[in-house]
Structure 1
């Protein structure tokens, strides 16, 4: 278990360092609270390792328990601080965080005092019972406080990563409550002198009594930590995937945009000023949005050249009930309209705009529709003869 707990402690300590010092400036809101949370969890995991416990107890007997419990109090307080900063207004978050930190400081100081008294009284069970009551009271309060917030916001948030992370944290809270229940049972056992739980035996496995005293809090730390950091980890991944899609979409729309802009140069939007040109040239969202607007303007400008007979002929070659079929029809109409524009031949019976295009309400939906049109336009799905009539391929 030493390797497991120490490995997790090192990983969490590295994550804490990155969160506080590796995020650049200005640091995002909550960076220090998240760093404190990860550092507290790292200390908690390290305290579970018998190697660390034996080392510190060689200096001060039985102090490993105090260090472990203090780390748990700090971790619980940090979890609340992060939760407050995410879910509450700035001033309210600061007010609640200050009150929880003050309370946690008092609790840790009192625990240290009771620990010292316990050692001076030869490990008095009564003093230890007071110590344990203080510890589990704060821990139970903090866990229930966070659990209520996590359940409420996991049902209302729209982001999948946040919802999954909060539900993972809820599972961690359940493990923490199991640990609290175990400590309460231990407290009752001490108070009544039943001797049901042997608190002096060391844990060498993750089962048996250790499932409640070590495994449950370790799982709570792990699940809450993963749950709170999941959105932050998922965000850059989702952003990278979004940028990749934007670049690929921009390139896929190239052939259609090239033909439209060559025939109608006025649809190309003015260049940005020199001050913002370098930033705009690498902004995939800006470039894609610009290209979608220019293609949409070009298709709109072709309305006088859209021929109904071309549209009807193309509809006879595909399943118009599908979006892909509608895109093939639209590509044929646009291709024929470009032929008519170059020949200066207006349509006597203009084809109406595609209903699929009219139903798109945002950039992504517009892009997905135009990608289908551009694919059909560039492929050999439909050709347009010199007279502007579509020639289906493969019929």
Structure 2
């Protein structure tokens, strides 16, 4: 009868083995620090754990070595070595070398003692039959194996808690945002390992209370498989692939900002073609621009500001006051309010220029073009202005020359 072991364990074995081979390549070709080597060892042990735990492999190992259920001892011993290697990795990363090696010698000595005790208890435990899918559940009721399981779970749980503690403590000190996220993801995966410990402890206690451990065995299989995959992803894909995801996200965001600025930019370009270094692409061509997007976005921001400067003499503070009043009536606040007022002022200035209006007397035109600011903040601000310029009702009124009608009669006099 098949179980989750037949599906989850092969899947976990493939994922971890791939991570192991990738890490071996990195250690051989470039990264040879002790922490990276310890990570490599941990991945190798974990890949072996899941490989041995696949039922067909389990049976094959027993037959090859000629010892009933020896695969169980091998798999659980490899689990202890895996957690010890994880612990070593974090100790080596977060401590000076001399202190790290002193700490690891003590811990590795403890691991050796645990493995010897497990082997001795396993040797005196009666074994037999095919229990490749329910090894722990079947033997948990045998006193010697129950003691074996207590030693195993104690070592595993204590080490896992230490791994979680060190991962969370080291994460803020790592200096790289994606490495911090990877270490925290590793802590999440290790926490699922504690679920496995709880299930195995219940395997010992449950029969004493008349409960059948097989009822919750799936929790052990799911938690250990998913926890291991999450840990491996946290230490490999997240730190290495995360920066690439950030670059892809930045590219997509800049491309979207570039296109959103087009309505405002194109109106300014039509009024003053000299602001552009080259003829603008068509809206359709812009959809297929893939390269140099950062440069193109920067150019578009500069050209918008240059275009706004050409309109400085046509900006009327009375229009801005009317736009502010109207936008406030519509419930706009904060930057949305400021962006709507700025867009309305530009629309009214374009209208005045197109209708051969007289420039506003010196000192009355207002604009913050050319003001030094952070480029990312400038882009975000201009995107808000462009969005308002394209569809805000206040801007539509400014474009139609209707805002001046809203001014008090004393303020709506001819210049």
TM-score bracket, normalised by the shorter chain, equals 0.5 to 0.7
Structure 1 pair 26–368 and aligned structure 2 pair: CA distance change class (3 A): farther
1:70 aligns to what?
77
Match of 2:158 in 1: 141
Partners in 2 of 1:225 and 1:246 — Cα distance?
32
Q: Is 1:307–1:333's contact at 8 Å kept on the other side of the alignment?
A: yes
Matches within 5 A, 1:146-157: 146-150=163-167, 152=169
In 1, distance between residues paired with 2:264 and 2:27?
Answer: 41
Residue 350 (structure 1) aligned with residue 364 (structure 2): yes
* 2:307 is equivalent to residue 295 of structure 1: no
Q: 1:330 to 1:18 in 2, by over 3 A?
A: same
Distance apart, 1:46 and its partner CA:
2.4
Larger displacement relative to structure 2 (310-319 or 126-135): 126-135
Matches within 5 A, 1:1-395: 1=4, 2-18=6-22, 21=25, 34-60=39-65, 61=67, 62-81=69-88, 83=90, 88=94, 92=95, 98=101, 135-136=152-153, 138-150=155-167, 152=169, 165=185, 168-169=188-189, 171-178=191-198, 181=201, 207-208=215-216, 210=217, 217-218=224-225, 220-225=227-232, 228=235, 231-232=238-239, 236-257=244-265, 260=268, 263=272, 282-296=291-305, 299=308, 302-315=311-324, 317-319=326-328, 321-322=332-333, 323-337=335-349, 345-348=358-361, 350-353=364-367, 362-378=374-390, 382=395, 390-391=401-402
1:257–1:340 CA distance, 2 compared to 1 (3 A): same
Matched residues in 2 for 1:302 and 1:46: separation?
A: 71
Give a deviation string over 1:292-328, Cα, whole Å, max 9, x none.
3553465467544421123234345534733445323
CA distance 1:248–1:366, shift in 2 (3 Å): same
CA separation in 1, counterparts of 2:112 and 2:378? 61
Aligned equivalents of 2:187, 2:12: Cα separation in 1? 21
Q: Secondary structure at the match of 2:64?
A: coil
Conserved 8 A contact 2:80-2:111: yes
- Counterpart of 2:360 in 1: which secondary structure? coil
1:161 and 1:249 map into 2 onto residues whose CA distance is 27
- Output one character per residue of 1:221-261: Cα deviation in whole Å (capped at 9) or x when no partner: 34544555674465544442332111121232234345556
Q: Which has the higher contact order (CA 8 A, sep 6+)?
A: 2
The answer on whether the counterparts of 1:328 and 1:377 sit within 8 Å (CA) in structure 2 is yes
Q: 2:286 corresponds to which residue?
A: none
Tell me, yes or no, if the aligned pair for 1:311 and 1:351 is still in contact at 8 Å. Answer: no
Unaligned segments of structure 1, at least 5 residues: 187-194, 198-202, 269-280
Q: Secondary structure at the match of 1:207?
A: helix
Task: Could you tell me which runs of 5 or more consecutive residues in structure 2 were left unpaired when the two chains were aligned.
Answer: 128-141, 278-289, 407-415
Counterpart of 1:277 in structure 2 is none
Residues 229 and 175 of structure 1, relative CA distance in 2, 3 Å threshold: farther
Check whether the contact 1:33–1:78 (CA below 8 A) recurs between aligned residues: yes
Relative to the length of structure 2, the TM-score reads: 0.62
CA RMSD of aligned residues (A): 5.3
TM-score (norm 1): 0.65
User: How many angstroms does 1:78 deviate by?
Assistant: 4.0
Change (3 A) 1:295 1:220: same
1:256-315 C-alpha deviation (Å, 9 max, x unpaired)? 3455568385797xxxxxxxxxxxx94544543454355346546754442112323434
Q: How many residues align?
A: 358
Distance 1:295 1:139, change over 3 A: same
